[in-house]
């Protein structure tokens, strides 16, 4: 793997989201080369046309309310470039990635992770100055 660096979401990047706060057991769906699971309280997110779910606690720690249905990712992320293809465990399931994709985590230790293509990652994130 590459060197893990700290990034922040660009100011113009926001998502629309709604919490699945219904009396439900949730649902499962296929995305990113694996099975994803959404539970009661998790969030349904539309990130510039890409739809997915985010686990309840992870969303609460990393997103900031802007207006009804609109949120920004306020917490920094740590990311490194994958040297070879593989799969990464996420809180919602599993994501397949290719060499060159970014392996992104909401925690510096690599926990709460997911994968993003270079084009998407670089359009949404910028390095935090002075960080490794």
Alpha-carbon span 67 to 38, nearest angstrom? 23
**Domain residue ranges of the chain, discontinuous segments joined by +:** 5-127
Three-class secondary structure of residue 63 per DSSP: strand
Q: Residue ranges of the alpha helices (H) in 8-70? A: 56-62
pLDDT in tens, the chain (132 residues): 568 999 999 887 899 999 999 999 999 999 999 999 999 999 999 998 999 999 999 999 999 999 999 999 999 999 999 999 999 999 999 999 999 999 999 999 989 999 999 999 999 999 997 654
pTM of the model: 0.82
């Amino acid at each position: 793997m590459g060197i893990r660096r700290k990034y922040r979401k660009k100011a113009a990047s926001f998502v629309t989201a709604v919490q699945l706060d219904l009396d439900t057991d949730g649902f499962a769906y296929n995305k990113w080369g694996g099975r994803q699971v959404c539970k009661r309280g998790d969030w349904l997110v539309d990130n510039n046309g890409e739809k997915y779910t985010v686990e309840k606690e992870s969303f609460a720690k990393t997103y900031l309310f802007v207006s009804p249905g609109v949120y920004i990712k306020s917490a920094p992320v740590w990311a490194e470039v994958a040297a070879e293809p593989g799969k990464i465990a996420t809180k919602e399931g599993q994501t397949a990635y290719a060499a060159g994709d970014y392996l992104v985590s909401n925690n510096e230790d690599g926990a709460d992770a997911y994968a993003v293509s270079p084009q998407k990652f670089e359009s949404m994130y910028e390095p935090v100055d002075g960080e490794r």
